[in-house]
Structure 1
């Protein structure tokens, strides 16, 4: 299964009317960095940082980008900082179906298809599924069509009581992991749309028929996803990759999640299925 769609907005730009100073101060405080620490990182002075934050000094475009880099501000919000400082946005947001993205789409699809028979998918910053391989399609067998179209969302697919939730044997642990992951992302990105998604999926009732395995007392190197398929329990650990030094908002918000079998039985079953 391959799905290609335009990435959705993951966060709402901060209001430009606030001015760049208060916005930068907000990011600095959120990152728990002092003015002196930020100045040292950016090759400036604490006084200059203070002047920028209070509006007594207008930072150059290069300085805005440098401070945003050292504060690990998401690419989308760096554009908001530039606008607030009176500069043009630096990072474009190119739809995935744009011809200029052909090489990216082809490379991503080749990557996740090459990972078969193990599951792999690509999501945008709002967890909408951009592409998925046949390993993911296998796990989604039997999920209602309305959850799969027009633009499936990975969090809804996983946590909705009509989605994968009833099949997840360690739903309590896995649900807690996903909600904590979203919470961290919301704290970093100040995303109103992501917060709305969080509130939606967190309110889903836990299916009564869902099996709850006791927490494992044996040492584990990572929390596994234990999910039923065709009468078997498959076990996976997931890994998430993002693009390094992205120069486009769409690319910056893409994440590739791969699922590695966590036990020999899962490896044997996936290979036997001939995916």
Structure 2
């Protein structure tokens, strides 16, 4: 059942924990008018929807949903990554991934499905069950599945806690039901129950510590997204790159 645009607006405002008065002030409209929009007593213009969506930091995909619910055409295009218009983007992503070698880096979509990876990732996948590497490869599933990377992660409890918390924030920000289902799946995976060490908060960032034939390699993750996107697919594309957390890891990878 399609939901009314006013109901969708109210949900996004409440998701962002912003009062009607604060949103009205930010958008330069009256709180009474905003209330009428949310209850359906007034119909928002296309420009008003775009303005409110911007103030609420609504993802581009969901901005299109708001526009459609109000009877307007979508504003933001969604092209596949194999679209000719994405040639320069694909080339740029590949250059970034290549430049990060020998350190591992991947490009993922909004549901953490693998789009591309560099040569630094392959050695990390030794021992992973082949079924988890069949497209589409979900990076979070690959990380926490008992037949994936989980047995090789020395600090699995800490890393699992970090990934689930990050996924929870994404769900809160986007309301994406696919991510919510993925989080439930990941939470159900068996694990050793070990929690983050008491002094974990003293470290600069949560590391990914992998057990390898060269000893334990430690990484710190970074995320890159594209600035000012106007295409849905581009807005949802991210590069997850891993930097060595210590000189021993850097030396092992360079060797």
The TM tier, using the shorter chain, reads: over 0.9
The residue number in structure 2 matching 1:226 is 209
Aligned counterparts, 1:165-184, within 5 A:
165-184=150-169
Is 1:236 matched with 2:219? yes
2:4–2:69 contact (8 Å) kept in structure 1: yes
Query: For residues 116 and 190 of structure 1, what CA distance do their matches in structure 2 show?
Result: 34
How far apart are 1:192 and its partner, in Å? Answer: 1.4
Structure 2 residue runs without a partner (length 5+):
none
Aligned counterparts, 1:35-184, within 5 A:
35-184=20-169
Match of 1:29 among 2, 9, 14: 14
Query: For residues 96 and 67 of structure 1, what CA distance do their matches in structure 2 show?
Result: 29
Is 1:193 matched with 2:175? no
Q: TM-score, normalised by structure 1?
A: 0.88
How far apart are 1:198 and its partner, in Å? Answer: 1.2
Match of 2:237 among 238, 243, 254: 254
Q: TM-score, normalised by structure 2?
A: 0.95
**Matched residue SS, 2:42:** coil
1:158–1:165 contact (8 Å) kept in structure 2: yes
2:20–2:34 contact (8 Å) kept in structure 1: yes
Number of matched residues?
254
Query: For residues 192 and 115 of structure 2, what CA distance do their matches in structure 1 show?
Result: 27
C-alpha RMSD over aligned residues:
1.7
2:97–2:105 contact (8 Å) kept in structure 1: yes
Query: For residues 246 and 161 of structure 1, what CA distance do their matches in structure 2 show?
Result: 36
How far apart are 1:91 and its partner, in Å? Answer: 1.1
Query: For residues 100 and 164 of structure 1, what CA distance do their matches in structure 2 show?
Result: 35
**Matched residue SS, 2:209:** strand
Structure 1 residue runs without a partner (length 5+):
1-14
Q: Deviations over 1:69-101 (max 9, x none)?
A: 110111111011001111001111111111111
Farther off after superposition, 216-225 or 76-85: 216-225
How far apart are 1:216 and its partner, in Å? Answer: 6.2
2:113–2:139 contact (8 Å) kept in structure 1: yes
Aligned counterparts, 1:13-28, within 5 A:
17-28=2-13
Structure 1 pair 214–222 and aligned structure 2 pair: CA distance change class (3 A): closer
1:127–1:153 contact (8 Å) kept in structure 2: yes
